[in-house]
Chain A
């Protein structure tokens, strides 16, 4: 493969070699050579309407497939528009390669037209980044970028390419090795630690599994399930881990954290051995750290050594790929099952009945009404239609929490949301990436009226490609989650949270050339959703729900996770 070609064509050849079949982007001045090469190349480029959405779409693609998502922007404003998406990928550990154009090398640093210090700006929101100075470096850089993005703890890598490098001519020789002496990836867990963990798990009287995004990243659902069943231990999943265990699995208690279930948070607080797998003890999950799992010895498995001991000291730390570690752990567990089964069985039974008692005390009961659509009712209906199989791409806010609480998933990579960063405007573009990745799947873009209005430009992308995405707007007329906090903690002084002037959904969709509808009656809900799902193309369903509904349970900021607010407080008068 040694034909003479320019850097732009070479880049595309590198992408093809990495297995990229589609990427999301927006052209510009310095990337003109690249887009000229795209014109007759087999790799598919999807034109979005805002670069931020290119990154979100690449994330949707990556989150659903596990492959590296690719996005592309021009220099200056194009690159800076990617930043939110890069921070999002960094926070949720999503493998992304972002390609940005840069002004011609000799103009760098001269405040040229559309110049920005992309390399400097993206330093903190990428796992690593590159500025390609010579064409000869390009194949090695691209190969390394994909390797770094996908290996160890996945994350975004940015490659900044000046215009003259795109235009330079050279021979492409594929790269077959990576030499990064400082980039260490720890996959195998320590054998001794694994044995210690197994022993601790068997001897525990109140063991508890706390699993999250790391299980999804490692594709370790089968190993997790095997372990949970071997040990017959209750398990909770974080917002990022939903679906890692099927939601209907008998050992799955519920989501844990700020808006997790009562039994889940009580279980975390009272367990004596906490088995933390692919999680990072995030503040949304732990609440006040000093009061988190106070009686528990912690077994912490994670591929990133910096996460272990960061927020909570681990009694048995295991650095490694959770899939490999669990595989070996399961073998040891099976080999070392204790003989005296009765003592073990009694302790487990007692723990399980405690968990069940907590579940019965404060169940997550979806609320419905005869006269208005309750947000929880909407989630139940989506759950019914999905039957655990649909891909649900959520935006950020109250709807995201209710969806996480009430929509069930049979497996991982179906629940797609911005967890760590909580970036509004994520839902719709991520659904675009998800639908391109899985054209066979039913994809919901579940958004609030706030987040939806941040992504309206991408309706054009959806229609242009005929993506049959079912856009469901949970419309309460407010920036719901902020309004909830203002109600609970700021004396109900609602400041800048009223989202008035929402467009007519039928007219908006119609303006873009597809079907839209608004409903506000509970008896319309099921049929409207079914109509949306039946529609062969995209559909915009604007669901007007009860405005002043709050997400419960809620762990207030600074509280311990067993100090949940479970029900609405006494109504506070809205000051005039």
Chain B
């Protein structure tokens, strides 16, 4: 089943590789992955959707928290959270169906970002389920090509961030 994990990681080379490596070495398939800087330029927030057995979800979070670059790893699968995704859809339309496609786009609050005699390019955002529906609908009008961004999520619970303070070490 799909687990959605939100991570706060150090913005350092190799951090991404470590996290994906941890998942791939256990054979878990990554459905989507997004990462971008947070307010603090030294930190990035990563949202990963991974296909993992529900009994192993806690173990995955614990293993991620072990990584030196990971400040916090949270399982958002069953917690109150807002999940959003963006999709860019290129749809080929016949002359007759152009208006219908535009009407459907309006229903989904999708924007037209490109228009040509061949068809349209549309941009839609929303929760993943809404986007699934949008894609289905567009597909019924003609040939489509989609590029999904992957899920970003923000937790609605306030989770205290426990960070390790600096440690003073002595010379031997």
A interface residues with partner B (beta carbon < 8 Å): 17-19, 119-120, 123-124, 127-129, 131, 143, 147-148, 174-185, 304-306, 309-310
Contacts and interface: CB of A to CB of B under 8 A. Distances in A.
B68 A177 contact: no
B91 interface: no
Contacts of B163: 181-182
B172 A180 contact: no
Contacts, number: 72
Q: Which 6 A-B pairs have the closest CB atoms?
A: A306-B62, A19-B172, A182-B71, A181-B163, A179-B166, A128-B68
Given A128-B68, A148-B68, A309-B58, A176 B169 contact: yes
Nearest to A309: B58
Contact of A184 (B14, B21, B65): B65
Nearest to B14: A119
Nearest to B72: A182
Interface string B42-68: 000000000000000011001101111
Contacts of A18: 172
A176 B9 CA distance: 24
Contacts of B169: 143, 147, 175-178
Nearest to A129: B14
Nearest to A146: B169
A214 B167 CA distance: 23
A399 to B, nearest CB: 32
A98 to B, nearest CB: 16
B107 interface: no
Contacts of A183: 68, 164
Contact of B68 (A119, A176, A180, A310): A180
B13 to A, nearest CB: 8
A182 B168 contact: no
B171 to A, nearest CB: 6
Given A123-B17, A147-B169, A174-B171, A182 B62 contact: no
14 contacts: A17-B172, A18-B172, A123-B14, A123-B17, A123-B21, A147-B167, A147-B169, A148-B68, A174-B171, A175-B169, A183-B164, A184-B164, A306-B62, A309-B59
Contacts of B22: 124
A174 to B, nearest CB: 6
Given A119-B14, A181-B71, 5 more contacts: A17-B172, A176-B170, A182-B68, A182-B70, A184-B65
Nearest to B73: A182
B83 interface: no
B159 interface: no
Nearest to B172: A19
A176 B25 CA distance: 36
Nearest to A144: B68
Interface string B80-122: 0000000000000000000000000000000000000000000
